[in-house]
Amino acid sequence: MGRFIGFILFLCGLLLLVHPTVSLPLCSDSTAPSTLNSTLEFCPYKGSVCCNSTQDGDIQRQFQGMNISDPACSSLVKSIVCARCDPFSGDLYIVNSTPRSVPLLCNSTSENSPQSNQAATDFCSTVWDTCQNITIVNSPFAPSLQGRAGVPTNSSTSKLSDLWLSKTDFCNAFGGSSTEESVCFVGEPVSLNNTKLPSPPDGLCLEKIGNGSYLNMVAHPDGSNRAFFSNQAGKVWLATIPEMGSGGMLELDESKPFVDLTDVVNLDTQFGMMGLAFHPNFAQNGRFFASFNCDKVKWPGCSGRCSCNSDVNCDPSKLPSDSGSQPCQHQSVVAEYTVNGSASQPSLATTAKPTEVRRIITIGLPFTSRHAGQILFGEDGYLYFMMGDGGGQGGDPYNFSQNKKSLLGKIMRLDINNIPSSEDINKLDLWGNYSIPKDNPFVEDQSALPEIWAYGLRNPWRCSFDSERPSYFMCGDVGQDRFEEVNIISKGGNYGWSVYEGPLLFVPNSSPKESTPIDSINPIFPVMGYNHSTINKNTGSASITGGYFYRSNTDPCLYGRYLYADLYASAIWAGTETPKNSGNFTTNDIPFSCAPDSPIPCSSTPGSPLPALGYVFSFGEDNDKDIYVLTSSGVYRFVPPSRCKYTCSLENVTTTVGSLSPTPSPPSHASRSTNSWSSLVLLLLLLFTCS
């Protein structure tokens, strides 16, 4: 009994977590399902599952304790308690952010149900009809467990008809139908309709609207047609974005940055300003954040704990001398700034002082490469901070990525709204001024740092949240020798590095190292990616640049697909998910070209060594959900495909498009672009070099 109560508490613990509408295979504790070779002993699940053998055994004991005599009812109830193991259990057990004791039981058929096994099933009625007169010990259908008023009972043994007045009452409490975004339970594992894969877009049409070379673009949080752009050196500009189809260019005055942090940012081959984020309530509180690298030797403000330390078996005095004149000479910093004082209200601010309000975090770097550095606010209001494995020869030589005592090779999740006192920061042994969200995955784990949200990453270069489905937290992760990957980041997920490189076992080509035992980890494999061998046969270089789920109507043939690119190859891929919400992607390398009427011509120089577009550093998304490509040659925006004479049957092509030139040139695979790449680009050339 004690064990059973423990189990219930364990479930309740999981269920306390608030969860957005889920639409991806996720467990009720927000973690990704794991992969199981064989069927569980008790519950009929295998493959992608949300239970391990321990939990399967707990469910079996819970079920046996119910002592259900009737075989028909018994089998239905078994299927219901086993739904915990369903890969969609997060969706089944948390409906409208409210946790449930029983999965959502399908009570009707819905015309546009995404589920293949839901047709004509009123499973809720079936449960009532079959079980209403059957005694169940510790019934999971008790009203109190569902947070509902039913028939009051003080007995632990009850029939449904003791607990609920009627089928209608019962099904009001437990029933529901699946919708576009959610699933319901019919007594067997959730299965999605295998819809036909839509054909890939004919091509992507781009226009060039700016000449500058930027690493970050962040839409203004006030929802206006403005966005912030930052470069590697540490300058941020506030630009007005031209209306789609207006023929205008980015309005940005290079000589008038919004803020200039170049005095503190250390600019070098692989160092600089890597990330920029605005507080979701920036329009009220004026808070914004920059992520950059600094150099202790050049700036006294550059001080913090060294990520090479005794906790992680790293002796700073043994680091190679080319990593700096002193251990952890270079640091990754996230610092907070404000526009208070520069305008009457934050949205009107066009400049900010480069005065640091608060240091959020400082992490001393062991080597000079692979420290990612993007920062992003999630819908949950927390700040996500992407960190690479810290570099070094032979692929993560100190095993930082798999070591949960290290912040390297991790995605961190920090609460920057509740800043503890310095006393508490010391007591909690934090690396800076933030608090730990209660539901971070490793808060209870003494062998892990509580900042960690996900681990096993190499160099997460450009992550984004799907604006329609926040559980789709996408990251490109740059590979080493063979594979570039796109991951869906989930709570506590291990993305495999450096045991795996993408789906492949990683075998370092330098001195063979005894790596983390393969069987000891349960990695989450990428959902998209490409082999190095498929691109850039000339140079062999490859480095992924993660992008966005396209959610604009500008190119309706792109809607709902995930876009990503390669830094060197100027190839752009679109990932299409079928069935929708399954996490199963098919990818296509999509041809692209520049609109003949592009506001800035995408000029080309025959024989230029630069790939088309230059180097693709990053993507951006504006407040209209239009998508931008930030490259060494400038800023490009996706425009209606017809402007490049690509056919998209979903596009409404009007014959009189003012800005369309009378004789558009036929689309080429890509317009070669040349001129205005800055010298910084040369530095950046090596930024992501893979081996």
Ligand X SMILES: *[C@@H]1O[C@H](CO)[C@@H](O)[C@H](O)[C@H]1NC(C)=O
Which residues of this chain interact with ligand X, rule CB under 6 A?
Answer: 37-38, 52-55, 67, 69, 107-108, 112-114, 116, 119, 132-133, 137, 154-155, 171-172, 175-177, 193-195, 197, 211, 249, 285-286, 313, 338, 340, 357, 397-399, 514-516, 553, 556, 578-579, 582, 584, 586, 600, 652, 675-676
Q: Which is nearer to ligand X, 193 or 269 (CB)?
A: 193
Closest separation in Å from C-beta 25 to ligand X: 10
Q: Which class for 163: exposed (0-12), middle (13-18), buried (19 or more C-beta within 10 A)?
A: buried
Closest separation in Å from C-beta 281 to ligand X: 9
Query: Residues of 536-559 as b/e, b for ≥16 C-beta within 10 angstroms?
Result: beeeebbbbbbbbbbbbebbbbbe
**Bridge partners, residue 474, by sequence:** 464, 488
Closest separation in Å from C-beta 345 to ligand X: 9
Q: Which is nearer to ligand X, 542 or 629 (CB)?
A: 629
Structure token digits, residue 41: 């002993």
Beta-carbon-side half-sphere exposure of residue 526 (alpha carbons within 13 Å): 27
- C-alpha 220 chain-centroid distance: 20
Residue whose tokens read 């205005």: 676
Residue whose tokens read 């006030």: 222
Closest separation in Å from C-beta 644 to ligand X: 17
Pairwise CA distance, residues 204 & 636, whole Å: 11
Q: In the chain, what is the straight-line distance between the N-terminal and C-terminal CA atoms, in Å?
A: 56
Closest separation in Å from C-beta 51 to ligand X: 8
**3-state secondary structure labels for all residues of 397-412:** CCCCCCCCCCCCCEEE
Closest separation in Å from C-beta 174 to ligand X: 8
Structure token digits, residue 55: 């939990």
Angle of CA points 310, 312, 315, to nearest 5°: 45
- C-alpha 12 chain-centroid distance: 26
Q: Which is nearer to ligand X, 398 or 592 (CB)?
A: 398
φ and ψ of 199, to 5 deg? -70, 150
Closest separation in Å from C-beta 55 to ligand X: 6
Closest separation in Å from C-beta 82 to ligand X: 15
CB neighbours (10 Å) of residue 563?
A: 23
Q: Which is nearer to ligand X, 363 or 527 (CB)?
A: 527
Q: Which class for 300: exposed (0-12), middle (13-18), buried (19 or more C-beta within 10 A)?
A: exposed
Pairing between β-strand 572-577 and β-strand 562-566 as defined by DSSP bridges: antiparallel
Closest separation in Å from C-beta 297 to ligand X: 26
Structure token digits, residue 83: 């739904």
Pairwise CA distance, residues 104 & 18, whole Å: 17
Closest separation in Å from C-beta 131 to ligand X: 8
Pairwise CA distance, residues 117 & 71, whole Å: 23
Residue type, 129: D
φ and ψ of 651, to 5 deg? -80, 140
Q: Which class for 20: exposed (0-12), middle (13-18), buried (19 or more C-beta within 10 A)?
A: middle
Q: Which residues contact 69 (CB under 8 A, 6 or more apart)?
A: 134, 135
Closest separation in Å from C-beta 502 to ligand X: 18
Structure token digits, residue 92: 């089944």
Q: Which residues contact 90 (CB under 8 A, 6 or more apart)?
A: 19, 22, 25, 26, 27, 28, 29, 30, 50
Closest separation in Å from C-beta 105 to ligand X: 9
Closest separation in Å from C-beta 642 to ligand X: 11
Distances in whole angstroms, Cα of residue 447 to Cα of each of 70, 158, 452, 609 = 47, 43, 12, 49
Q: Which is nearer to ligand X, 151 or 428 (CB)?
A: 151
Residue of 40, 72, 57, 77 whose CA lies nearest to 6 = 57
For residue 246, cis peptide bond before it (omega within 30 degrees of 0):
no
Residue whose tokens read 């160092």: 271
Closest separation in Å from C-beta 543 to ligand X: 25
Beta-carbon-side half-sphere exposure of residue 591 (alpha carbons within 13 Å): 14
Q: Which is nearer to ligand X, 269 or 516 (CB)?
A: 516
CB-based contact 384:375 (threshold 8 Å): yes
Pairwise CA distance, residues 387 & 20, whole Å: 25
Q: Which is nearer to ligand X, 332 or 399 (CB)?
A: 399
Closest separation in Å from C-beta 339 to ligand X: 8
Q: Which is nearer to ligand X, 594 or 600 (CB)?
A: 600
Residue whose tokens read 């189990």: 7
Structure token digits, residue 227: 């966005």
Closest separation in Å from C-beta 536 to ligand X: 26
Q: Which is nearer to ligand X, 54 or 663 (CB)?
A: 54
Question: Residue 108: left (phi > 0), alpha (psi -120 to 50), or beta?
Answer: beta
H/E segment holding residue 462:
strand 460-465
Q: Which is nearer to ligand X, 75 or 194 (CB)?
A: 194
Q: Which is nearer to ligand X, 211 or 262 (CB)?
A: 211
CB-based contact 249:229 (threshold 8 Å): no
Q: Which is nearer to ligand X, 84 or 413 (CB)?
A: 84
Closest separation in Å from C-beta 216 to ligand X: 19
